[in-house]
Amino acid sequence: MAEKVYRASTTAPVNIAVVKYWGKRDAKLNLPTNSSLSVTLSQSDLRTLTTASCSAAYPAADGDSLLLNGEPSDVSGARTQACFRELRARRAALETADVSLPKLSTMPLRIVSENNFPTAAGLASSAAGFAALVRAIADLYELPASPAELSLIARQGSGSACRSLFGGYVAWRMGDAADGSDSVADQVAEAAHWPDMRALILVVSAAKKGVSSTSGMQQTVATSGLFQERIARVVPQHMAAMEKAIRERDFAAFAEVTMRDSNSFHATCADTYPPIFYMNDVSRAAIRAVEQINAAAGRTVAAYTFDAGPNAVIYYLEKDAEAVVGTLYHVLGAAVDGWKDAVVKGLKPTVTLDEAVAGLLKSGVSRVILTGVGEGPAKTDEHLVAEDGTPVTARR
Ligand code: DP6
């Protein structure tokens, strides 16, 4: 092939909110009804790797394409199109200003993307996915865009994706401009600010596929009275308290706001008409387990949070690994996948959980993920598109 294939590859992290985004005030621009705040998880355990490529040799008739975990994925949706359009427009502006630049904006895009975690885990991969997609294309186009500017674009792909453009502790400021120009993410603290923060994910299999976050939040906005209280009073309080807790590395305060905000979000789901239930009996057993662990410790050593599904994410500090991880490892046993020897070795259970709670966890937790706080997207030379433009499979 004579025509050059241009490529750029990026990895991007998953983030788990401790103050939840739930509700859109503008579905087209994907503008939220409230600000939110999340923790970026380590890419060693959870990440999306994406290569963006373009070439004049790619048949124009094929258009833009995306291969996701080995399967062709539809790019005609309004959200993906919005990301492509915004990025192309910025590249086209550069090409107009400097006519010596290759006209990448006119070439079809061929994008290949893979997650390093099983899709079956039911972990929100749209955040890492859109963050990686936007960053990879921005790098391909050599755009001089900051992570904050890219967060404006990723937000249009999936709201929570705007927070995956940064590492550490990240706020998405809702903004008030009608065009969304101030609805942008910023970093509250770097990952290194609180080095002992850890996350333990209990992967709970759902009996059937739940309501998607996009449609669930629309139903909540339209029907829940409690939701009005949440966006007017609860979230603003939680945002302020959470930023203070992070600044001061106050785990007890961090944990209380995290748990209260998860409870508040799921309460608005229950108040949606008809109601939406994301948590199941196993999720509720995880809440009880955290309460029993905290009660036995005599202080708050663990905090649970749940997104739009039954998985529990439990935040804790490294120094309390014995109480938190030791107890759950003892209950779930080595048969459950995902324990890391380096973490669980020598940990003794310090808390005996209720039999009913332990039984539910044993029956419903299919795997665990032990991870920590991590960095934002990173450029890599591990390309998923070969020099001749053909897709390659990632090393998993
Ligand atoms: C419960 O970002 O998936 O995880 O903007 O419609 O793509 P869309 O929604 P999405 O919603 C995430 C909701 C949440 C809370 C959060 O991550 O803040």
Tokens of 255: 């944990």
Query: What's the CA gap between 253 and 329, in Å, rounded?
Result: 26
**Residue 128 alpha carbon to ligand 1 centre in Å:** 12
End-to-end CA distance of the chain: 29
Give yes or no for a contact between 180 and 29, defined as CB atoms under 8 angstroms apart.
yes
The reported pTM is 0.97
pLDDT digits (tens, 9 = 90+) for 13-50: 999 999 999 999 999 999 999 999 999 999 999 999 99
Q: How many Cβ atoms from other residues are within 10 Å of residue 134's Cβ?
A: 32
Q: Any alpha helices (H) in 271-369, and if so which ranges?
A: 281-297, 321, 327-332, 341-344, 355-364
160 touches ligand 1 (CB under 6 Å): yes
| Nearby residues of 181 by Cβ (< 8 Å), 6 or more positions away | 152, 175
Question: Sorting pLDDT into bands at 50, 70 and 90, what band is 290?
Answer: very high
pLDDT digits (tens, 9 = 90+) for 199-210: 999 999 866 678
Percent of the chain, pLDDT > 90? Answer: 91
Q: Which of the listed CATH numbers 3.30.70.890, 3.40.50.1860, 1.10.10.60, 3.40.50.300 matches domain 197-372? A: 3.30.70.890
158 touches ligand 1 (CB under 6 Å): yes
Tokens of 205: 């299999």
Ligand 1 atom nearest 30 alpha carbon: 5
AA identity, residue 57? A
Which CATH fold would you assign to the domain 5-189? Ribosomal Protein S5; domain 2 (3.30.230)
Residues 159-174, mean pLDDT to the nearest whole number: 98
48's enclosing H/E stretch is: strand 47-55
Ligand 1 atom nearest 20 alpha carbon: 18
pLDDT for 118 equals 73
pLDDT digits (tens, 9 = 90+) for 44-74: 999 999 999 999 999 999 999 999 999 999 9
CA-proximal residue: ligand 1, atom 11 (nearest): 213
Query: What's the CA gap between 273 and 342, in Å, rounded?
Result: 46
Residue 95: alpha-carbon gap to chain centroid: 33
Distances (CA, A) of 107 to 9, 65, 85, 157: 17, 12, 13, 21
Q: Name the one residue in this structure whose structure tokens are 């970093």.
A: 187
pLDDT for 208 equals 67
Residues of the chain with CATH 3.30.70.890: 197-372
Query: What's the CA gap between 162 and 153, in Å, rounded?
Result: 8
DSSP 354: P
pLDDT for 21 equals 98
Q: How many Cβ atoms from other residues are within 10 Å of residue 148's Cβ?
A: 15
| Nearby residues of 269 by Cβ (< 8 Å), 6 or more positions away | 216, 220, 275, 276, 277, 278
92's enclosing H/E stretch is: helix 78-97
35 touches ligand 1 (CB under 6 Å): no
pLDDT for 124 equals 63
ipTM field: 0.99
pLDDT for 395 equals 52
pLDDT digits (tens, 9 = 90+) for 91-141: 999 999 999 999 999 999 999 999 988 766 667 678 999 999 999 999 999
187 touches ligand 1 (CB under 6 Å): no
**Among 262, 338, 344, CA closest to 303:** 262
Q: Is the pLDDT of residue 396 over 90?
A: no
Q: Name the one residue in this structure whose structure tokens are 């400021």.
A: 173
Residues 338-362, mean pLDDT to the nearest whole number: 93
Query: What's the CA gap between 323 and 330, in Å, rounded?
Result: 11
Give yes or no for a contact between 324 and 200, defined as CB atoms under 8 angstroms apart.
yes
21 touches ligand 1 (CB under 6 Å): yes
pLDDT digits (tens, 9 = 90+) for 225-283: 999 999 999 999 999 999 999 999 999 999 999 999 999 999 999 999 999 999 999 99
pLDDT for 394 equals 56
Q: Is the pLDDT of residue 76 over 90?
A: yes
Whole-number average pLDDT of the chain: 95
> CA gyration radius for the chain?
21
Residues of the chain with CATH 3.30.230.10: 5-189
Residue 32: alpha-carbon gap to chain centroid: 16
